[in-house]
């Protein structure tokens, strides 16, 4: 992992340890879970298997948006919560204020808060797939893999078996000894991809290598969904589903760092629901497959929504409300934390379309709050919305890799932004190039790249001016013909420049 991602926990880690208390020895099984909102499902899965939870709050930063969601998730599951204030030895630590904040926000008894400073051969059957496996080894993490003879009830450990394909392993599944069936652990559900993107090799000949690299990475990350796709502009590639944008960035960086992959990733999109006449419901995650406006069989289009929580210092509250409003936020509410404190903070809640936060929302959040805002969100179902598929065309030929789904209120703005971006990166041709952003047959924005003009009259000396006009007319007719049959090559560098930029820039 590179320095960019150092310290980011993207996967739950387990450890077992023995401790002495009142003359007895106890075995403690600990699970360290990720804190980022993209991996909330892993936290919920871990809570289901636990009897208690340490609620760690930084003594210098206080309660964050993620703290609230994890706290309520643990409380709803009846897990014993042990409140802990961590890093009390830091110069900026203010444990008394943080404990008062925890008491006011989470209704925790201040006397219960702990102050610390820490650095961070049987046959089994799957309840989910019903497949059988031979156990070759069992063990515990101590913290390295340590084989043991038997795993007992209440222990956290690992099982090695003759599973043929990694796709058979489902996070949260329950296994039992053959002949001794049990009720599966409650709360199991398949991880659901929230963000999709196409991944293509820069050199089309590298596709087999890229596909193999993705397969190897998914061995240790079963939450990534993989499907082959083909693009007229980028060739063969894979469409991947991720838990969020951080998850996507981590996966991309692992591809580049561990497998030396040189890839192009298309702009992230979200899964939409399309309701057709007759009650048929279809999920669409690729903008290319989104229905055109003239398809009269479509009754309703729905987009995924999230309930967002932002905790920010009071002086940035106005900027945060403007940011949320500009990204189609609804039901905006706020309340103040740290009442009576000179450094008061506010908690803002709102319902937002998921598509509005998978591009540059988090970057704008940090920029407008000078890095002080914390952000968390949870699934809020689907809602009907006025959405359209926008295609970018070069001389009437669509670029499928740059297709996007746009809300009605942003159609012309987004169209102008993207046509200008294309004009900046496409090299001039011997003929005129028309760049259009279209919805169905209607052009929403247009830019034109003028042709490279050769002086065909340079060698004409003397004579009537009609000779020059004749040459210019011939040139004009030739350029019209070239415009009809000319093939515009969009360089890979152009895709890099365009897809690095965010839709809302």
Question: Which phi and psi angles does 81 have, rounded to 5°?
Answer: -100, 125
Taking Cα atoms as reference points, which of 45, 7, 362, 14 lies closest to residue 222?
45
pLDDT, residue 4, reads 33
Q: How far apart are CA 488 and CA 502, in angstroms?
A: 24
- Cis peptide upstream of residue 480 (ω within 30 degrees of 0): no
What is Dmax (Cα atoms) for the chain?
115
Please tell me which residue, 177 or 471, carries the higher pLDDT value: 177
User: Residue 474: CA atoms inside 13 Å, Cβ hemisphere, count?
Assistant: 10
Beta bridge partners of residue 147, listed in sequence order = 139
Residue 432 to residue 479: CA distance in whole angstroms: 8
pLDDT value, residue 311: 92
Judged against a pLDDT cut of 50, whether residue 382 lies above it is answered with: yes
Predicted model pTM: 0.68
Q: Where are the beta strands (DSSP E) in 207-248?
A: 225-231, 235-242
The separation between CA 161 and the C-alpha centre of its own chain, rounded to angstroms, equals 32
Q: Does residue 444 carry a pLDDT above 80? A: yes
272-276 vs 235-242, strand pairing mode: unpaired
CA-to-CA distance for 111 and 83, rounded, in angstroms? 10
Question: What is the model's pLDDT at position 34?
Answer: 74
Residues in the chain: 505
| Distance separating alpha carbons of residues 64 and 101, to the nearest angstrom | 11
What does the pLDDT average to over 387-412? 89
Q: Which residue has the higher pLDDT, 275 or 486?
A: 275
The arithmetic mean of pLDDT across residues 456-476, rounded, is: 60
Average pLDDT over residues 498-504: 51
More confident residue, 117 or 139: 139
Which of 221-225, 284-288, 403-407, 489-493 is predicted with the least confidence, judged by mean pLDDT?
Answer: 489-493
Q: How far apart (Å, rounded) are the C-alpha atoms in residues 369 and 313?
A: 8
E strands within 385-501? Answer: 387-394, 397-398, 404-407, 433-439, 442-449
Mean model confidence pLDDT for the chain: 82
- pLDDT at residue number 58: 86
Give the position of tokens 């009537």. Answer: 464
CA-to-CA separations, 12 to 73, 207, 210, in angstroms, rounded: 17, 31, 27
């Amino acid at each position: 992992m590179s320095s960019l991602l150092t310290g980011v926990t993207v996967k739950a880690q387990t450890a077992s340890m023995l401790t002495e208390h009142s003359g007895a020895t106890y075995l403690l099984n600990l699970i360290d879970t990720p804190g980022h909102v993209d991996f909330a499902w892993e936290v919920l899965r871990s809570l289901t298997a636990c009897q208690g939870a340490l609620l760690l709050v930084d003594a210098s930063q206080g309660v964050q948006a993620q703290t609230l969601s994890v706290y309520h998730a643990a409380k709803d599951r009846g897990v014993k919560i042990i409140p802990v204030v961590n890093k009390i030895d830091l110069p900026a630590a203010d444990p008394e204020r943080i404990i008062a904040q925890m008491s006011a926000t989470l209704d925790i008894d201040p006397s219960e808060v702990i102050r610390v400073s820490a650095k961070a051969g049987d046959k089994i059957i799957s309840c989910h797939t019903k497949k059988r496996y031979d156990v070759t080894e069992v063990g515990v993490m101590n913290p390295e893999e340590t084989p043991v003879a038997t795993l007992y009830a209440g222990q956290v450990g690992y099982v090695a078996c003759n599973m043929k394909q990694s796709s058979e392993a489902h996070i949260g599944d329950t296994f039992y000894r053959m002949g001794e069936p049990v009720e599966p652990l409650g709360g199991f559900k398949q991880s659901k991809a929230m963000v999709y993107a196409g991944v293509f090799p820069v050199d089309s000949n590298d596709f087999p290598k890229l596909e193999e690299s993705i397969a190897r990475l998914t061995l240790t990350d079963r939450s990534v969904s993989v499907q082959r796709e083909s693009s007229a502009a980028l060739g063969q590639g894979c469409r991947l589903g991720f838990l969020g944008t951080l998850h996507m960035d981590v996966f991309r960086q692992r591809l580049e760092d561990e497998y030396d992959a040189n890839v192009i990733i298309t702009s992230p999109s979200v899964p939409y629901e399309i309701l057709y006449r007759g009650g048929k419901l279809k999920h669409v995650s690729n903008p290319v497959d989104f229905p055109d406006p003239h398809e009269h069989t479509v009754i309703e289009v729905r987009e995924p929504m999230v309930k967002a929580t932002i905790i920010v210092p009071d002086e940035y509250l106005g900027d945060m409300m403007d940011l949320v409003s500009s990204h189609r936020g609804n039901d905006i509410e706020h309340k103040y934390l740290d009442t009576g404190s000179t450094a008061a903070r506010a908690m803002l809640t709102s319902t937002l379309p998921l598509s509005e936060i998978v591009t540059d929302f988090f970057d704008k959040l940090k920029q407008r709050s000078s890095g002080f805002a914390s952000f968390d969100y949870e699934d809020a179902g689907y809602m009907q919305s006025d959405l359209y598929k926008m295609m970018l065309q070069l001389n009437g030929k669509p670029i499928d890799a740059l297709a996007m789904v746009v809300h009605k209120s942003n159609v012309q703005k987004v169209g102008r932004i993207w046509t200008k971006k294309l004009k900046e990166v496409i090299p001039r041709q011997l003929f005129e190039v028309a760049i259009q952003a279209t919805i169905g047959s209607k052009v929403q924005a247009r830019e034109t790249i003028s042709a490279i003009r050769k002086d065909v009259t340079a060698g004409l000396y003397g004579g009537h001016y009609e000779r020059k006009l004749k040459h210019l007319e011939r040139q004009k007719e030739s350029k019209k013909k070239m415009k009809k049959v000319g093939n515009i090559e969009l360089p890979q560098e152009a895709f890099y420049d365009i897809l690095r930029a965010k839709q809302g820039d």
